[in-house]
Structure 1
Amino acid sequence: MSDTLRQDVCRAIDSLPTDCSLDDSKEKLDPLFQSAVERIHSHFESKISPLLIACDRGNSSCLQYLAQKQKEDKQFGAFIGQPLDPCSDEDLNTAIHHAAIAGCVDATAVFKSLGYSINSLASIRNAHNDTPMMMAAANGRLDFLKNFYQLQLAEQQRDDETIESIILAKNNSEDSCLSLATCHGHSDVVEFLLTITPVETEVLDLCKTRLESMFSTLKRTPNLTQQHLDRLNIVRKCVEMIEKKLAEQAEDAARQLVVEENDKVEAKKSKGKRRKSKKKTVHTTRDQAQSSPQHEELEEKEEACEELQEGKEAEDDALQLKTLSDGTIAVSVQGQVEENKPVPILPTRVRKDSIDEMFQKHLKGKSPENDAVMDALCLEASMLLYTPHGMALNLSPSQLDAIQGILERQLVAVREARNIQDRSHGNTVIR
């Protein structure tokens, strides 16, 4: 009997308009609840609850009515349903999942008023390991996401790390909120997510793979509607937004490294200035005191210790190198050199040309083809060290072809060099 009554309430909620008022909900549902007081039991065979139907329909008025009833009488809790109760044993979607799909913005605040924490609502997963935020992102429910995020901030007291881990969480398909929003073509959701969380390289790779798959489908199915083509263009735009954000993160990281290195240099300089200032103050104090052999001997020992410490720190920072007149590099050492004992030198000659200049000279004049490539494409040696993403972002297809040709010719040169070495050592192996 209780199951039948529960189904009657579910049907009544389903029949109400989504934008109905709270009074409309009371007029429709009050008679059912009044007759249910003495017939409610704690166990129900059906997992479809009135709370779940209200969330699935996105009906905020019915949701508020149900929450009010549960606050008035706790026995209505099992009859109405709980926010984290699964609707079935197969997909395990809960009421908050259905609220996210429907974009029922008020659901999160209503459930919080019933005693549920935002963290517990945000972390609940279905059978595919989808969170409510993933559901909202995949369905383009930007308002739900923004409201959910603001409530998280308020509850976590600006604990961005906890919130970030929830937003960056992945399901069984390795999808996150960002990849789901991108591949479903919700650019406004993508733009919002990029402002609140960092981008992971794996997410970009996944989105690119999905985009390529969409293009392949388009080629095999030329009669797709304009709607499919428009969505494909939106997905491409979303991927470009992620690429831009990832590049900005890389620039920020590099800039931060430079700042940290500059801070270290300034700290060393400041430390040296303080040491000199202290030394000068000690000398002034001693000049004011009575001069004696003991004082002079103590001063000499202290100065010797300070000079030894300064010399050790300078040696730890970097090798002291000198460039001789013949172009070799020599190690600068303190003290006198014994007679007939040569100064130790490094058998490396300094090249005055930069790496890029060497790169240009090596290729210039080798062939008319090389000269045309270098002049037209403005290639630099540093381009050979780009990562795959760096090449994709900074090089044109023509530049990529040119670099591939250069590297292939260098591999031929390496094989020839190995043959020369083998012949010089008496080997007969031909590579």
Structure 2
Amino acid sequence: MLIRNAVLIDGTRTDIRVGDTVTEVADDVTAAPGEDEFDAAGGTVLPGLNDHHLHLRAAAAALRSLRVGPDEVRDRAALAGVLAAAVPDQNGWIRAVGYHDSVAGPLTRDLLDAIAPEVPVRIQHRSGVQWTLNTAGLALVGKHDHPDGVLRSADPSWTLPATEPDLEGLGATLSRYGITGVTDATPDLGAGDITELQRRMPQTVRALAPGKRILHDDELDLDALTSWIRHTHSVGVPVALHCVTAAQLVVTLTALRSAGRHPLDRIEHAAVVPDGSVADLADSGVTVVTQPNFVAERGDQYLVDVPEHEHHELWRVGSLLEAGVPVALSTDAPFGHSDPWAAMRAAVHRRTPSGTVLGPNERITEATALAMFTGNRAGHPGAVVPGAPGDLCILATPPPQALAELDAAAVAATVIAGRVVYER
């Protein structure tokens, strides 16, 4: 395919020939007989965006799930109302996601039994780390005598009934954002799961499994983690460690220092980075894949829950870059919104929903935020040059406007391996 009248992010006007890879970037390229042409009309052409951390099956399932977060329900009565009106899925369950304790306090089986229908109900906390089931649901997963109905997502002693996720619908949504590649951060994906995702998604799909591990503060074991990292590296697999607390980060950095590093090791989230850990993080050389979109989505709750003197430690970006830490951005969909452009704006402006700037020193430029969503893997921004993958995001706006707005509405077309998969 030949893209005419393109403008690269540096302002260069050019034509672009693209197939599986970009083969030509030059002025006045002559179209081959029968070659498809696309007129970019002076819009910006970027490397396709990559979301470096999300959960595909969960994000696809969320498209068909009831949302019960603070933005949708305000109190216990409202929660009861939406559960009562919900239609069970094909397995007879009511599946709800996005819950936070600010809605109706900590969920338990007894609370759900009191306010929910007598069908099986499962509600996922917005962190993604736990579900709360009512008595009917607990009976179906073999946990009828569980004391409170709160079950960790990663606990292998129970499983939820499989639901058919709308992966095609998710793929179409991501294409509308200009996303051409994704990294699934689900820890327990098998080879068959990954193959299925790659078959059904238009995007290039990579996975962190089997090197992904979620840490919990009450189960931190430095020796065990060090041993696991060393073994994982010994079979040629990098590790990706989920760190959302200061304790998890400190233990992870200590374990990596002892076990040694693989060049593709990653720390996922780094939601809290104390001042004293910034230099250690830089010395480790490990890439941080983080989600400043949570400042824009949940920042007002952070202002309430987190002591003021720790606000600057949340979802760092600018100070990590300044210290020399490789950083890439992502959305953590469905636990964060899947719009990468919103995540870029959050990294630039750091505004909570009420307009408070949270961590002003962590702000970055528009160009830096955009670069952190391009490229083939975390920390390696891409460029539209011959030999690059044939994955492109075509915007309707010229570079200055595109950078100033960072708006998904500007995406005019998305190209994957030389084929248009989305055109507005």
Regarding TM over 0.5, the answer is no
Bigger share in strand:
2
TM range (shorter): under 0.3
TM-score (norm 2): 0.22
Of structures 1 and 2, the larger Rg is shown by 1
Comparing both chains, which one has the higher relative contact order based on Cα–Cα distances under 8 Å and sequence gaps of 6 or more?
Answer: 2
